[in-house]
Each structure stands twice: as structure tokens, then as C-alpha cells.
Amino acid sequence: MNLDIQIGDTILTGRFKNKRVIVKEFGTDAKGQPTINGRPMLNFRIQKLMPSKPEKKKKEVNIFDSKLRECVGRVIDKQIGRR
């Protein structure tokens, strides 16, 4: 299995894989399993391979929203005035 990880890359570790850690060393543990910075190698996410966050869309201004609010406001004012 080939992974595109080099010393200096950032990986995400921790219980929820949300803590950034910079790779300093590669090694093996007592069982011969690969490790990164002394931790098991397969318990992380590679930040550079994750999809980037989508940009937030700007809220579109609908012309009819303001007109609708005006009309509803007038109707409510009329109803309150009749009481």
C-alpha cells in the first residue's frame, strides 16, 4: 500500500480525527506495524487528500420577499385596526 505522506505533511489525528499534527518521523512498533510519530499509522486522515470545504453561497435577494412582507404587513395592520 502506497500513501502520499512525507515528513512535514499535516495529518489529522485524535478521537474525532480533527487535531492537526505535523509528520516528524516514520517507524515501526513492536509488532512490526508502521507508525507515524510513534502512533499507529492507520489512525489518521491525510489533510491534503481531503476534499476542500465548499464555499458558502451568498443568500440570494428575492424581489418578491420585500413586496410580500409589505403586503402582509398592510393586511395585519388592517386586521388590527378593525378590532
7 occurs within a structural domain: yes
pLDDT per residue as tens digits for the range 26-60: 999 898 888 899 988 777 888 888 888 777 776 66
Write out the H or E segment, with its range, that includes residue 76.
helix 63-82
* pTM beyond cutoff 0.75: no
Q: Are 20 and 53 in contact (CB under 8 A)?
A: no
9: how many CB neighbours lie within 10 A of its CB? 16
For the chain, what is the domain count?
Answer: 1
45 occurs within a structural domain: yes
Range of the domain at 39: 1-51
